[in-house]
Amino acid sequence: MYASIPAIAAVAAALFVQGTSAVAANPLPKPVDITWGTSGSFSVKSLSYDGPAHPVVQDGYNRATKKIWDLKWSPAATEAPPRSFEPFPTPTAKSRKAKRTTRHYGNLNSNSTLTKVKVTVADLKAPLQHEADESYTLDIGEGSEIIVITAQTIYGALHAFTTLKQIVINDGTGTLIVEQPVSIKDKPLYPVRGIMIDSGRNYLSVQKIKEQIDGMELSKLNFLHWHMVDSQSWGVEMNSYPDMTLDAYSDRETYSHECIKDIIAYAGARGIRVIPEIDMPGHASAGWKQIDTEMMSCIDSWWSNDVWPLHTAVEPNPGQLDILNNKTYEVTGKVYKEIAEIFPDNWFHIGGDELHMNCYNFSSLIATYFESGKTMGDLYQYWVDKAIPNFRAQANKTFIMWDDVVLSPDAAASGVVPKDIVIQAWNNGPENIFNLTRDGYRVIVSSSDFMYLDCGFGGWVGNDQRYVVQVNPNKTDGSPNFNYGAGGGSWCAPYKTWQRIYAYDFTLDLSAEQKALVQGAIAPLWSEQVDDTVISSKLWPRAAALAELLWSGNKDAAGNLRTTELTQRLLNFREYLVANGVMASPLMPKYCLQHPHECDLNLDQEALWVKPTPAA
């Protein structure tokens, strides 16, 4: 038998009472361990700082407290169980209607006043590098006047300030409060938690890049993967080869060393690493061809040839570095060295995706190489064996490469790819993650089926006959096709919703040893259809769902998926992002924000839980 709607609502209400304290503050990402008291609220009228005289800590504290006073944030969406609904199909049965009321939080008569934030940081000199300790505690004891924060490093302290901003709220009368005593012990599950921006396909202004960094700080993301250039444009000013920026979109759409350093400093002050990507040897045309066209291949070919088996690139415009031309290694070494010296991070992304054999048919050196019986895998191995030592000689960093170098069915390197290279897995979801970790590689998860934020917006290449269809050719059987129910030209459709991202179990079937090799995840936003006008709405708030997945996971203490619990937290956080100047997209009609769980597909709040199989 099916449970009645009132019975389901009763169960949901019971779960709410058991699992959630009666406070409006609902910080995102959810802390690993947060315990609210019950003795009553604290007023917050002014706060003094008692902590280390460290510029990053003090500036972070000042930014946080200024934002608390400036916003006087009142939660826009609060958690509550679903209301009761009249059972189908009785048309006259009465239901409990949700009433619009003025929201008040706390007890309106605070018994204590918070006056001080005491901050203790164990190591003020820890560098902002991979696996820096980001843990913190935040405690407000019953009757206390002090907010006590402890952290191992300044980055944990910054995260504590971020949490503090979300738990100091406007009680509805204009008074700032913390609703109850609270104890938080918090640290991230993964050291790499990030997004990828792409300024190669369309230019992104410094202001908009900083806006994304603001969103990252608010959601405790710590890794900005910056895909700086691509075959379409080269906007990075180079002292070694000044003519490369002749292939910028304009003189105004470039990045000087000074502005790059400004972005790095802005991010670093918020505990965020910035890792550049210079994609090589594929996706290479703009910039490189200004140095020497002899070290290039297929830059003047037609990218698709209108016959896909002859394509030289997956998108216009084509171009790859000639792997057998010695000039390639002189130039790439100098370019890498100059950019590596700008970025203080110990990691550097050298690309390595989507190499196409057809492109190399335009190189006489490589054509001869293939005629001798060598394969595309042999050619890629030649690049690995020669380029990696060359880069290390210029600046010895930890390299990141796309998973093509190990697992591409068409072009994977045929020999040994060093195990100290971190592999960014973007193909085949859990399968590639499993295979890479099985073979001993550290992995960053960026599975396109779950995390590509540019997917689902249709195709963008012009002069495309596939759209000239007036009648659904599959109308009879209803099966999807290009214009009716399928991708409409987006190769990675459908759109990746926040629920798709949050529910991703990317360590599925991994052993404990394999799980230890997963460093975290990055959600890429490729910019063929992205510039300043839409970048924030395409990244946010979906990236915040990833932030919680990577910080505290997506399951409760019983191992149940907590998507339904995240709903109101994320809807509130979207409003919070906008209030902080990050132009995040709405996820649902505002009605849903104001009526908890009335926009759920299932009234049963356990619908996503893994239910035990009944005994036979």
Residues 6+ apart with CB under 8 A from 493: 455, 456, 486, 487
The residue among 87, 109, 84 whose CA lies nearest residue 96 is 84
Residues 6+ apart with CB under 8 A from 496: 450, 451, 452, 453, 455, 456, 542
**Residue of 179, 338, 354, 565 with catalytic role:** 354
DSSP at 438: H
Q: Does residue 29 contact residue 190 with C-beta atoms inside 8 Å?
A: no
Taking only Cα atoms into account, the Rg of the chain, rounded to an integer number of angstroms, comes to 26
Q: What is the 3-state secondary structure (H, E, C) of 294-341?
A: HHEECCCCCCCCCCHHHCCCCCCCCCEECCCCHHHHHHHHHHHHHHHH
DSSP secondary structure string, 461-527? -SS-GGG---S-TTTTT---BTTBBS-TT-TT-S---HHHHHT--TTTT--HHHHTTEEEEEEE---
The two tokens of residue 543 are 């990236």
Q: What is the 3-state secondary structure (H, E, C) of 24-50?
A: CCCCCCCCCEEEECCCCCEEEEEEEEE
Distance, CA of 390 to CA of 538 (rounded, Å): 37
User: Is 86 tagged catalytic?
Assistant: no
Q: How far is CA 520 from the centre of its chain?
A: 10
Torsion (CA) 321, 329, 409, 306 in degrees, nearest 10: 0
The two tokens of residue 408 are 């591409």
Residue 372, classified by CB atoms within 10 Å of its CB into exposed (0-12), middle (13-18) or buried (19+), is: exposed
Residues 6+ apart with CB under 8 A from 185: 31, 32, 33, 137
Strands (E), 174-246: 176-178, 182-186, 192-198, 223-227
∠236-237-242 over CA atoms, to 5°? 130
Distance, CA of 173 to CA of 105 (rounded, Å): 9
Distance, CA of 252 to CA of 245 (rounded, Å): 11
Q: Are strands 42-50 and 112-123 parallel, antiparallel or unpaired?
A: parallel
The residue among 464, 437, 466, 432 whose CA lies nearest residue 449 is 432
The two tokens of residue 370 are 């293939």
Q: Does residue 313 contact residue 279 with C-beta atoms inside 8 Å?
A: no
Q: Does residue 515 contact residue 191 with C-beta atoms inside 8 Å?
A: no
User: Which positions are catalytic?
Assistant: 354
